[in-house]
Structure 1
Amino acid sequence: MDYDILISGAGPAGLCLARSLSGCGLSIGVVEPQPLAALETPAYDGREIALTQRSAQQMRALGLWERIEGYEPTAFSALRDAQVLDGHSRYAMRIDHGLSRHDELGWLVSNHLIRRAAFAEMRAAQEQHGDITLLAGESVAKAHTDEQAAHATLASGKELTARLLVAADSRFSGTRRAMGISADMHDYGRSMLLCTMTHEAPHHHVAWEWFGYGQTLALLPMNDAPETGAHRSCVVLTLPHHQLDGLENLPAPEFGVALTARFSQRLGRMELASTRHLYPLVGVRPHRLVAQRFACVGDAAVGMHPVTAHGFNFGLLGIATLSDAIRSAQLNAGDIAARRLLADYERAHRRATLPLYLATNLVARLYTDDAGPARLLRGAALRLAQNFPPFKRMVAASLSGSH
């Protein structure tokens, strides 16, 4: 047996899983197509990740929080409140942090800093315990399992065996597909353009989700720029893909004018402060999360629509559930890939993620339908939600991870 656990994918989910399991007497292999340099110093990718309070605790426990603060002292921005707007109306459903038990609903931090810190923590665990092997520049091409082991053939032709194979290689997981697990993929027919913008008016650390007619705008409040003091936000513009082609390549000044107009000047003049990044909008729900000596984590387990900002949070939750079960089995000399263990993980993670996945798809369909009847229903639903405190408390609990 080459490894006890073989993880396909060294994104944040795969790295955090390896870090979480290090030191409990298991040998861990991590396979990743990217070269080592890209893992050590990941490039800015436009994404700001919203962390629930529960996820913030997990980040601290894994050592990532302290590392990120060491990289950038102002990296973590408080997400105090949130508001949802519809169409041209200035009326909004407001989710106040006072509805939760915290001074903020959660935190925002750049994805590339999470990746950098996760890799550094994996390296530190590797050096301390000597139980992690990183195979950079490799990928799983074929995989199957039997009663005795999981078998993986890498793109280079190298064959590996493990007691447990874990897919952590994105919502479009090739490893999951190699294991014969199908998935429902919902292509929303849109793409997201992400970038950092500065703006004249302060955001007061309020996140926006603005379902306009023909577009969706999200604003994720960042801390003011340390060099200039300018107000900053991560902006997410969602449009049919062909409508983004021109915007993606506009010169920076014209792009700022265009975004200022799309935000109806509600934040004053806006200016581009980063590179721009484009991502297709596709939700993915695998039909199974586990198989014989196999499990999915992170986006390979559920690929969320970003409107609820729960993708990475669900990833961390699944990692905690699976790693706790594996550690317990290892401590008690049990099988770390036992059918019961994997079935319990699947059941718990499904219960935690499936209701919000389905509800998110429902909301996304309603609030991107610009037909007359849908517009009336959208506005009515928003006003009803704003004036129904139990619903708002439930949303606040979901955003903060307190439920």
Structure 2
Amino acid sequence: MNPTDLLSAPSTQVSAHDCDVLIVGGGPAGLSLSIALSQAGLSSIVLEQQSAVTLAEPPPDGREIALTHPSVELLTALGSWSELATHEIGRIREAHVHDGAVQSVASMSLDALGSGEEHLGWIVPNHALRRSAFAVAAKSQHVRILDSAKVLGVSTSSDSATLEYQRAGAPKASLRAPLVVAADSRFSTTRRQLGVGADMTDFGRSVIVCRMRHEQPHHDIAHECFGYERTLAVLPLQDDPATGNHLCSAVVTADSADAQALMNLPAEAFTAKVQSQFDGRLGAMQLVGERHAYPLVAVYAHRFAGHRFALLGDAAVGMHPVTAHGYNLGLASVRELTNALQHAREQGQDIGNAAHLQRFARAHHRHAWPIFQGTNTVVRLFTNARPLPRLLRQLVLKSANVLPPVKSAIVQQLTGRGLFAIGAGGLTGRARSSHITRGHSMGR
């Protein structure tokens, strides 16, 4: 066996198949699904282009992920939350929204009061989530990971999904399973190979993400500053464990040409622009590490499932980051798909049956569609400098501040608590009991 075959295939597999589920993509969504399936008694093989070394220690990419409480509960149940270091877990106590210039009083202030939670949510580096998911998946009983694997083609038949792939330095090979899941990013090649199109919204903008140290404490308050040329988000992070310096994540969104110019600025000049747009509220700031730029393209697949396939995470819905829903929506799809497959197996049904998978697809669409459209509407409304959108924007923020039901609905989405919030609910049956018996704790 190749030493990078981290676990051998489970002994429970059907002789005609290599596993129960083939998962294309070893990011946090794909790996989280493999762990959840393992806890539910289903075997999987994960194929990922990156090497095992990179999967085990992914480099920082600048992205900080906001997590709802149900998302953290799911990560806790999977065991990956306990793999995070204490300094990697930050909290968002309040969120302040500023329209135009940053002022002493925010246009809209949000907190967790009345939600049953002490804070709105959590914030964790993306690379830490990737590392922790891999750490648990690599030691899960029914998970096999094929690193450095390029998927060459995917096809489905009446009784199987077949995947052709090639690993570095090895001949081409194939795998068969009742179901294949595409979890290989919003620009998913697997989605295209399965014949599923997607609506793509290119906002013509890019986001620059980086860490900054600053003089004044942030008090666990996140700020979203909607400027008319650039949008700035300032997200609270844990203090630097080595120096004790206060840290935040700065997220600058600008049109692509302006973003490139910002990336080309010396560190001091870039920092000065961020500090100026934030009106110096955190005192003197200094760039820590590298800046990373990403194009802003939102994606919504035409179908989330079909005969012997399903889409997961960004391969199904790739969100604009402004409302911080993307990763939480991906974890919700992990929960929903796991529950659907576990139910099918317990009922003696074929887990790759299209009719059964469509129930998962419809449920996820009901969650995702209004959030996706709402997020795109927020982006268009809050980045338009024309007089009418500016007036409408001010009316929206004022109404949210003075109408408790409106503010409550927003807080429900941020915390994940409430009837229509993302991820409300949990794993069923065996996955829940597995979490209880292992006794994972959120109190880190």
The correspondence for 1:268, drawn from 274, 279, 283, is 283
Counterpart CA distance in 1 for 2:130 and 2:237 is 18
Alignment partners' CA distance in 2, 1:220 and 1:265: 15
Q: Which residue number corresponds to residue 89 of structure 2? A: 76
Q: Secondary structure at the match of 2:235?
A: strand
Equivalent residue number for residue 339 of structure 1: 354
One-letter code of the match for 1:151? T
Native 8 Å contact 1:284 1:304 kept in 2:
yes
Q: In the aligned structure 2, how far is the partner of 1:65 from the partner of 1:5? A: 24
Is 1:366 the counterpart of 2:381? The answer is yes
TM-score (norm 2): 0.86
TM-score (norm 1): 0.95
Q: 2:175 aligns to what?
A: 160
2:102–2:277 CA contact under 8 A, matched in 1: no
The one of 7, 11, 14 equivalent to 2:27 is: 11
Q: Give CA deviations for 1:163-218 in whole Å, capped at 9, x if unaligned.
A: 10000001111101111101000001000000111122222111111110111111
* Aligned partners of 2:37 and 2:43 also within 8 Å: no
Counterpart residue identity of residue 203, structure 1: H
Contact 1:22 1:132 (C-alpha < 8 Å) held by counterparts: yes
What is the alpha-carbon distance in structure 1 between the residues aligned to residue 233 and residue 201 of structure 2?
20
Aligned with residue 289 of structure 1, among 304, 314, 317: 304
What stretches of structure 1 of length at least 5 have no aligned partner? none
Distance 2:76 2:373 in 1: 30
Counterparts of 1:359 and 1:267, CA distance in 2: 31
In the other structure, the counterpart of 1:2 is 18
Q: Match for 1:58 among 48, 63, 74?
A: 74
The one-letter code sitting in structure 2 at the alignment partner of 1:134 is: I
Distance 1:346 1:23 in 2: 22
Q: Is the 8 A contact 1:193 1:244 kept in 2?
A: yes
CA positional deviation for 1:283: 0.6
1:43 to 35, 59, 66: 59
Are positions 1:139 and 2:154 aligned together?
no
Q: CA RMSD in A?
A: 1.5
113-122 or 320-329, larger mean C-alpha shift: 320-329
Contact residue 166 and residue 297 of structure 1 kept, 8 A = yes
Question: Is the CA contact (8 Å cut-off) linking 1:7 and 1:28 kept in structure 2?
Answer: yes
SS of the residue 1:181 aligns to: coil
My pick for the range that moved more, 227-236 or 294-303, is: 227-236
Q: Once structures 1 and 2 are overlaid, which stretch shifts more, 168-177 or 201-210? A: 201-210
Unaligned runs of 5+ in 2: 1-16, 419-444
Structure 1 segment 185-334 matched on structure 2, within 5 A: 185-334=200-349
Structure 2 CA distance, aligned partners of 1:215 and 1:102?
32
Task: Kindly state the Cα deviation for residue 291 of structure 1 after the two structures are TM-superposed.
Answer: 1.2
Out of 124, 130, 134, the position equivalent to 1:109 is 124
Q: Is the 8 A contact 2:163 2:174 kept in 1?
A: yes
Residue of 72, 88, 110 corresponding to 2:101 = 88
Matches of 1:9 and 1:357, distance apart in 2? 22
CA distance in structure 2 between the aligned counterparts of 1:25 and 1:374, rounded to whole angstroms: 52
For these two proteins, the number of residue pairs brought into alignment is: 396
For residues 19 and 357 of structure 1, what CA distance do their matches in structure 2 show? 27
Alpha-carbon displacement from aligned partner over 1:210-253 (angstroms, at most 9, x marks no partner) = 11011111111112222232221111000111212232233333
Cα distance in structure 1, aligned partners of 2:338 and 2:39? 12
Identity %: 43
**Contact 2:305 / 2:354 at 8 angstroms: preserved in 1?**
no
